[in-house]
Amino acid sequence: MRELSRRGVLGLGAGAAAGLGLTGCGTGLGGGPSEAGGAGDGDKGPGRKKPGKAAKPLGDGSTSYTGKQPNQPGRPRPLAPGETPPQFVVFSWDGAGDVGNGLFERFLKAGRDHDAHMTFFLSGIYLLPESKKRVYLPPNNVPGASDIGYLTDEHIKSTLGHLRTAWLDGHEIGTHFNGHFCGGSGSVGNWTPQQWRSEIDQAKSFVKEWRTNSGWTDVEPLPFDYDKELVGGRTPCLLGQENLLPTARELGWRYDSSSPGGLQVWPKKKQGLWDLPLQSVPFPGRSFEVLSMDYNIMYNQSQNSTQAPPANYPAYRTQATGAYVAGFQRAYETNRAPLFIGNHFEEWNGGVYMDAVENALKHIARAKEKAKDGEIRIVSFRQFVDWMDVQTPDVLAKLQTLGVGQQPTGGWKEFLGAGSAA
């Protein structure tokens, strides 16, 4: 993955292993299994408000407390008896570092243009200068090791600026951990709960102490308390969830998005946390489904090559867009299961997957404009679990009975009507 990262691929969420059915970014690759109240009531346009309090420095001044996060949906509420659940869509980004290719800015702008909130899973070492890399002590690896490249000082500074903007715009800052180890004895898949705790503590420290590690005094602090902001993450290559979850639960996390692949159904909790996997979605023109992430679509189109012949790019772009849109339409028209999409700030195959994500976002935003107020909500994972946590156990249990593409028996009014829960 280091070679890819040097070409601008950040926080790659899939392993380099070739072959169908690899557990890199998850299952659901070629031939793989086919597997409501923004989160607030109405999810009206946020207006991009500024924080209402002066910043209070925390620790060494790398982060600060600026009050309640601005640009959030209204307070979520339980569904009324017989009410149709909203269609939630979550766009998420692994790595969330800037290498000067304009992609971080591009999707921050897209979020503002389409009233969309997203989750940015930050790789902690993207805030650690390479000159200080031996500060990082990765489990089962030598000090300073990383399977993704460190950023230049210039790009660390621009990443800090984009993260600041993202949080003020209402997006969530989660974690993609640090060194992205997917193979060999040092793989995250072999880590113990105690080693995950070390990795998380270090990921947090790189965010909370970037000023100490860099010596910079002319860069604004991040406007949030990361101890409170961090409530979920996605592991490198979707590996190691089983041993991560006990640690995440002890830390008070609310969700995890590291399952190696799931279906378009309403999620359940695993070891006390909401389990929010990437999902198998229809793959236009193919007889199998594909995991809802740029890497997995790319793998099925060009077999792990990020520079296929340019003549293929228009078809790749159309097919990738179609996969995301088909996943959205299937859920929206049937079980209303949330749609989770994962991405990287990458330029594989001429950037067609970034175009596909933006095209899908535009399609969903147009559907949102035509729908009833609050019927379609483009939210962060945190905002989604805010909504899930206020629903009654009976309603959640009923929603979780619906299979992929399954209509509620008798329509939503009957299916979730008073007294309908078993």
CATH at residue 244: 3.20.20.370
- Residue 62 structure tokens: 């790398």
Is 403 inside any structural domain? no
Are 381 and 174 spatial neighbours (Cβ–Cβ below 8 Å)? yes
Question: What pLDDT is attached to residue 394?
Answer: 97
**pLDDT score of 13 more than 60:** no
Which phi-psi region, left, alpha or beta, contains residue 23 (left: φ > 0; alpha: ψ -120 to 50)?
beta
Question: What pLDDT is attached to residue 54?
Answer: 81
Question: What pLDDT is attached to residue 372?
Answer: 96
Is 55 inside any structural domain? yes
Are 390 and 85 spatial neighbours (Cβ–Cβ below 8 Å)? no
Are 340 and 278 spatial neighbours (Cβ–Cβ below 8 Å)? yes
Please choose, from the candidates 230, 241, 254, 257, the residue with its C-alpha nearest in 3D space to the C-alpha of residue 342.
257
- Enter the DSSP assignment of 221: P
Reduce the secondary structure of 331-368 to three states and give it as a string.
HHHCCCCCEEEEECCCCHHHHHHHHHHHHHHHHHHHHH
- Residue 257 structure tokens: 């998005």
Is 399 inside any structural domain? no
**pLDDT score of 17 more than 60:** no
List pLDDT tens digits, range 161-178: 999 999 999 999 999 999
In one-letter notation, the amino acid at residue 282 is P
Cα–Cα distance for residue pair 303/293, rounded to 1 Å: 15
Which residue range forms the structural domain that includes residue 44? Answer: 2-73+84-393
Is 121 inside any structural domain? yes
Residues in the chain: 422
Q: What is the number of domains present in the chain? A: 1
Is 268 inside any structural domain? yes
Question: What pLDDT is attached to residue 419?
Answer: 60
Cα–Cα distance for residue pair 383/337, rounded to 1 Å: 15
**pLDDT score of 39 more than 70:** no
Q: What share of the chain is helix, strand, coil (3-state, %, to 5)?
A: 40, 10, 50
Question: What pLDDT is attached to residue 261?
Answer: 92
**pLDDT score of 418 more than 50:** yes
Is 415 inside any structural domain? no
As a whole-number percent, the residues of the chain with pLDDT over 70 amount to 86
Are 168 and 223 spatial neighbours (Cβ–Cβ below 8 Å)? yes
Which residue carries 């489904």 as its tokens? 289
Burial profile 35-72: b = 16 or more Cβ within 10 angstroms, e = fewer: bbbbbbbbbeebeeeebeeebeebbebbbbbbeebbbb
Mean residue pLDDT of the chain comes to: 89
Cα–Cα distance for residue pair 321/187, rounded to 1 Å: 32
Question: What pLDDT is attached to residue 31?
Answer: 33
Is 60 inside any structural domain? yes
**pLDDT score of 1 more than 50:** no
Give me the residues paired with residue 92 across strands: 119, 342
Is 247 inside any structural domain? yes
Coil, strand or helix at 243: helix
Which residue carries 């950040």 as its tokens? 10
Cα–Cα distance for residue pair 73/170, rounded to 1 Å: 9
- Residue 107 structure tokens: 């999707």
In one-letter notation, the amino acid at residue 344 is H
List pLDDT tens digits, range 331-380: 999 999 999 999 999 999 999 999 999 999 999 999 999 999 999 999 99
